[in-house]
Amino acid sequence: METPSEIYDRIYQEAQGVLDKYNPCKIKVKDGVVSCVVKRRGIWGFYYNDNNQLCCVGCEYHGNEGCTVKCLKCAFYLCPNVHSTYTINCINELGALYIKAIEVINIGEIRKPKPEDCGRG
């Protein structure tokens, strides 16, 4: 039988697989710099620039190699400024995983993650 931590990690890996498969944030790498569509489009006052990195770059859990923790709320949270890039399959697959996470480990509502949501590795 899986422990709650193992369940959390498994659901996180499945959610990450969905994000990798559909790439709703349209993450790309150019000249070794990772960026998302929000930063490239100039949404939220950011100027269009392929070198603007990611929206989450200011998060205390974001390091040189990307996210340094497994945070389900981050995996499930999709920026409202890029809803047009989501596919119904991506939403359905993440939604099914979210329901599983609520039922099994009670992760709570999905909203923009706060640092206290991500403090587990």
Question: What tens digit of pLDDT does each residue of 15-36 get?
Answer: 999 999 998 888 888 787 777 8
Between 50 and 28, the higher pLDDT residue: 28
pTM of the model: 0.75
Give me 98's structure tokens. Answer: 């979210």
| pLDDT of 79 higher than 50 | yes
| pLDDT of 104 higher than 70 | yes
pLDDT confidence of residue 110: 54
Q: What is the pLDDT of residues 56-69, one digit of tens each?
A: 767 778 777 777 88
- Would you say 76 and 16 are in contact if contact means Cβ atoms under 8 Å apart? no
Q: What is the mean pLDDT of the chain?
A: 75
Side-chain half-sphere exposure of 85, counting CA atoms within 13 A: 16
pLDDT confidence of residue 118: 54
Scan for tokens 């809803």, then name that residue. Answer: 83
